[in-house]
Amino acid sequence: MRPFKIPESVLVVIHTAELDVLLIERADRPGFWQSVTGSKDRLDEPLLDVAAREVGEETGIAVGTDRVPRTALADWRHTIDYEIYPVWRHRYAPGVVRNTEHWFGLTVPRDIDVVLAPREHTDWVWLPYREAAERCFSRSNAQAILELPHRLRTAA
């Protein structure tokens, strides 16, 4: 039996310098498009490590390489608390209904290879950031994507 998920996670908006955003479609919910997300494996796991691991697991993009240096992964220092969708609550300990999510951005080259984890995602697409936000099933994910231009301006 798998251990319960820790209700602390990351959201990673993967994007190009031109503000195209990578979205991936959930295997367990066709039509549900999202950015990379994932929970901590250990309570003491650093959030940057969680973000880099989840990007690698879900998209095959290796953070910490010449093409995608660790510095391309930006901690947006933004946290939200949300109610876990009922369909996914069974993954958490009984009584856990809320999750804390930390937002990150990852700038990558437009021609980066994307290799999905087939058990998690079935398709991927690059879209201009506004179109990507419209396609997301999660309002908070859409909000994060819409903040992308501001995040890049303040980081410069």
Instruction: Could you list the residues known to form a binding site for Mg(2+), using ranges.
Output: 54, 58, 120
> Residue ranges for the binding site?
5, 26, 37, 54, 58, 120, 138
Residue ranges for the binding site for substrate?
A: 5, 26, 37, 138
CA 1 to chain centre: 26
Q: From residue 28, how far is each of 69, 76, 87 by CA, in Å?
A: 31, 28, 10
99: closest CA among 58, 51, 140? 140
The single-letter code of the amino acid at 32 is F
**d(C-alpha 140, C-alpha 85), whole Å:** 13
